Amino acid sequence: MRLDKHLHNKERNNRQNELFHILTSITGLVIISKIFGFIKQMVMANVFGATIETDLVSLSQGLYGNIEYVIAQVFTTAFVSIYIYIKSADITKSKIFISDVIKLMVGGSCIIAAAMVLCSPLLSRIIAPSYSDDLCKRLTFYIVVFSPVLIVFSITAVFQSILNANNRYIPCQMTGLNQSIITIIFILTMTGKIGIWSLIISSFVYPLWNAVYLLKKSCLYLGLTKETHFKSQEIHQFIKMMGPLFVGYSMVFVNQQVDKILVSGLGDGVVTAMGYGAVLSNLVITLIASFCTVFFTRLTEKISINDGMAVIAVFNKAFFLLITIFLPVSIITVLCAKEIVVIAFGRGEFGNKAVSNAAMALMGYGFMFVPNSIKNLCSRYMYGNKDSKTPMANSSLAMIVNIIMSVLLVKKLGIFGITFASSIAEGMCALLNMAQVKKEMFSSKNDYVLKRYMILWIIGGGVCALLCFTLKNIINDIPVFLKFIVVSIVSLAGYVICICPMLIRQIICIDDDFLNKYHKK
């Protein structure tokens, strides 16, 4: 018995160490990638500033960026959920499935790109209704120019999904770093000759580079065939699951477009400034998504073999890691939004007005980090159980709330009202998803761990906010960067001291008492 227990503990520790290694590796790479991303945005802000021309490029790029996000999230979620089941039964069959899916995605993305070109005049009117006829024509031109990029993005999404499903997360995270480096090179070397077209050309080059790079990394798992099996049960499952996912993730796309429609009426350069605020918040959102992708693969693997205990263990670990990490990040982002924007972009053509607008946007987005963590983790648990309808319904309801709140708040709060409305909707969706997972996974007696540590999060968050607010207003005679570092370190230190009991028992080790009691029940 002792030997069995020792072996069990050793195996469990090995799994935890492996997971910890993966998360730290991804975190490190995401941080490096985002540092280069910041450098890229600094270069862009310094060279181009925030003008009507940058607004036009931002709107057209953002349109395809949002579609790319929807395609990538929908495809990855549906693909991983089905691919893992197929691979566990038959490797050859999994390669045939990949071949069919690639053909399906290439054809589908071509159709979408063609539709975007045909509808470009209408789209320009929809996403910028306050623009003049001349500006709408220029926006239409940019929408047509960027349309081929969508096809490359779709192919890249296939290779990313294959690698994620096989626990190869690092190459997928490299794509962001590649994008930043290529964009910086093009802006610095070509802007003097071709102006803003240096930014546009780089938007074609880096997706092609990433597609080739991920293709090389995915070759081991590919098995392209001439025959198609679109009538197979696996493809039917894949398409069936993608339907609700498209609706659910499209709600995010619709929300972002509504936000841009509202912002485009607030003056020249405001769309660009909000975009820079979104870039900063996306540093955290990307890290959350990377964590959730790792946990999603783990959850799906355990669900596929009906290991209920392991599913609870992975979910419990992920839940506490995400909240504990991103709660202080959210607090510091909200309270130090202006300092963060000044450090990142406050130079060159990016003036005080642009800084103020970007800071207000970042402040509103900062409230969504914890809700986004909970929403994504709970959604991925449901996707692992092949339930894509519930997250879709919850996202749809949250989208309606977001649009209503954005329209109401923009009149009084401007750009902050729009981004804060997004955070409100994110919180609502998180609560709905969490309620569904609690109903499926936990009984009312088995969620006591959340209640036990909620007080520590509240106390730790309160101390973090108090220290951050106080120090921010006291320290004024040092450079902004140094001020932000001091405020962040002291605030985080206070937070960590408050939550030490949870870090020792819940974060470092899986709560064995909780799992044992659940198992006995």
* 463-504 per-position pLDDT tens digit: 999 999 999 888 877 888 888 899 999 999 999 888 877 666
Higher pLDDT, 137 or 231: 137
Return the HEC string of 127-188: HCCCCCHHHHHHHHHHHHHHCCHHHHHHHHHHHHHHHHHCCCCHHHHHHHHHHHHHHHHHHH
- Per the CB < 8 A criterion, the answer to whether 340 and 333 are in contact is yes
Rounded to an integer, what distance in angstroms lies between the CA atom of residue 195 and that of residue 51?
13
Instruction: Look at residue 162 and tell me whether its pLDDT is greater than 90.
Output: no
At residue 225, the 3 state secondary structure works out as coil
Residue 367 has a pLDDT of 93
- Per the CB < 8 A criterion, the answer to whether 436 and 378 are in contact is yes
Residue 22 has a pLDDT of 59
* 70-108 per-position pLDDT tens digit: 777 777 777 877 887 787 777 777 888 888 888 888 888
Instruction: Look at residue 13 and tell me whether its pLDDT is greater than 60.
Output: no
Average pLDDT over residues 313-322: 81
Instruction: Look at residue 55 and tell me whether its pLDDT is greater than 50.
Output: yes
Residue 2 belongs to some domain of the structure: no
Instruction: Look at residue 255 and tell me whether its pLDDT is greater than 70.
Output: no
Residue 9 has a pLDDT of 45
* 394-435 per-position pLDDT tens digit: 887 888 888 888 888 887 888 888 889 988 988 998 899 888
Instruction: Look at residue 1 and tell me whether its pLDDT is greater than 60.
Output: no
Residue 445 has a pLDDT of 46
- Full residue range of the structural domain in which residue 414 is found: 9-224+233-253+264-444
Tell me the CA distances in angstroms from 160 to 286, 363, 372, one per residue in order: 15, 31, 22
Tell me the CA distances in angstroms from 322 to 317, 376, 377, 412, one per residue in order: 9, 10, 9, 33
Residue 253 has a pLDDT of 60
Residue 250 has a pLDDT of 66
Residue 225 has a pLDDT of 67
Lowest mean pLDDT of 44-48, 209-213, 218-222, 257-261, name the range.
Answer: 257-261
Residue 516 belongs to some domain of the structure: no
Q: How many domains does the chain have?
A: 1
Residue 473 belongs to some domain of the structure: no
Average pLDDT over residues 272-291: 78
Residue 50 belongs to some domain of the structure: yes
Rounded to an integer, what distance in angstroms lies between the CA atom of residue 150 and that of residue 465?
42
Higher pLDDT, 259 or 188: 188
Instruction: Look at residue 516 and tell me whether its pLDDT is greater than 70.
Output: no
Rounded to an integer, what distance in angstroms lies between the CA atom of residue 126 and that of residue 424?
24
Residue 328 has a pLDDT of 92
Residue 480 belongs to some domain of the structure: no
**Angle between helices 308-335 and 480-498 in degrees, nearest 10:** 140
Instruction: Look at residue 129 and tell me whether its pLDDT is greater than 80.
Output: no
Rounded to an integer, what distance in angstroms lies between the CA atom of residue 155 and that of residue 212?
10
* Six token digits for residue 174: 């490299």
Average pLDDT over residues 28-44: 73
Tell me the CA distances in angstroms from 190 to 47, 179, 187, 194, 349, one per residue in order: 12, 16, 6, 6, 18
Residue 334 has a pLDDT of 92
Rounded to an integer, what distance in angstroms lies between the CA atom of residue 164 and that of residue 37?
22
Residue 209 has a pLDDT of 92
Longest CA pairwise span in the chain (Å): 79
H helices of 305-414, where?
A: 308-335, 337-345, 352-366, 369-384, 389-413
- Per the CB < 8 A criterion, the answer to whether 358 and 274 are in contact is yes
CB atoms within 10 A of CB 85: 18
Residue 264 has a pLDDT of 66
What b/e sequence results for 49-62 when a residue is b if at least 16 CB atoms lie within 10 Å of its CB, and e otherwise?
Answer: bbeebbbbbbbbbb
Residue 370 has a pLDDT of 92
Residue 117 belongs to some domain of the structure: yes
Residue 493 has a pLDDT of 92
Higher pLDDT, 501 or 207: 207
Residue 438 belongs to some domain of the structure: yes
Residue 33 has a pLDDT of 73
Residue 365 belongs to some domain of the structure: yes
Lowest mean pLDDT of 343-357, 371-385, 459-473, name the range.
Answer: 343-357
* 437-455 per-position pLDDT tens digit: 877 765 544 444 566 678 8
List CB contacts of 404: < 8 A, sequence separation 6 or more.
Answer: none
Highest mean pLDDT among 3-7, 231-235, 276-280, 484-488: 484-488
Instruction: Look at residue 294 and tell me whether its pLDDT is greater than 50.
Output: yes
CB atoms within 10 A of CB 193: 8
